[in-house]
Amino acid sequence: MLPRGIRNHNPLNIRRSKDQWKGMAEVQSDRAFVQFKSLEWGWRAAFYLLTRTYYHKYRLYTIRGIVSKWAPPNENNTKAYIANVSRLTGIDPDEPIGIPSDKPNRWMAVGMAMAIQESGTDSLDYFAMLRGWELLKQ
C-alpha cells in the first residue's frame, strides 16, 4: 500500500485547517491531512508553504528553522528529521537555503527530502514535483 501522503497527493502531509488550497479534492475523507486532486497540487501547496509562508512570512531560511516549525518535537523526532533532510540535500542544517526565486533547485531538494521523511519512501514522482513548482505561478 502507498504511504498516506502519496495516497492523499499530499507529499509533505499538510494538516487540514481552515485553508482552502488550490487543487483540493472535493471530498476530504482523511480527518487529519489535506487531500489534493493530484500530486502536482499537493506539491504546489507544499512549495507555497515553504517559500511564501515559512521563508517570507516566518523568515525561516535554514533547514533547522523550517523543520523545527514544520515537525515540532512534541510530534516528531525533530533532530533526526533535520539530520535526514540535511543529509539528503547536502545542505548544512544552519546554512541559508537561498532566496526561492534565485535558488529553486535547493528549495525543491528540501521539499523532496521532507517528502521522503514524511512518506518514508524515495519512490516519488519527480516530474509531479517539478510541475508543482510551476503551479506556484498560478
Segment 45-92, tens digit of pLDDT: 999 999 999 999 999 999 999 999 999 999 899 999 999 999 999 999
Look-up of cell digits 526561492 = 100
pLDDT at 122 exceeding the cut of 90 = no
Cell of 24: 483540493
Cβ atoms of 30 and 122 closer than 8 Å: no
In the numeric block, the cell 529553486 is attached to: 104
Residues in Cβ contact with 36 at an 8 Å cutoff, skipping those fewer than 6 apart = 8, 9, 10, 21, 23, 24, 25, 42, 45
Q: Which residues pair with 78 in a beta bridge?
A: none
pTM: 0.91
Residue of 52, 29, 39 whose CA lies nearest to 123? 39
Grid cell locating 68: 523545527
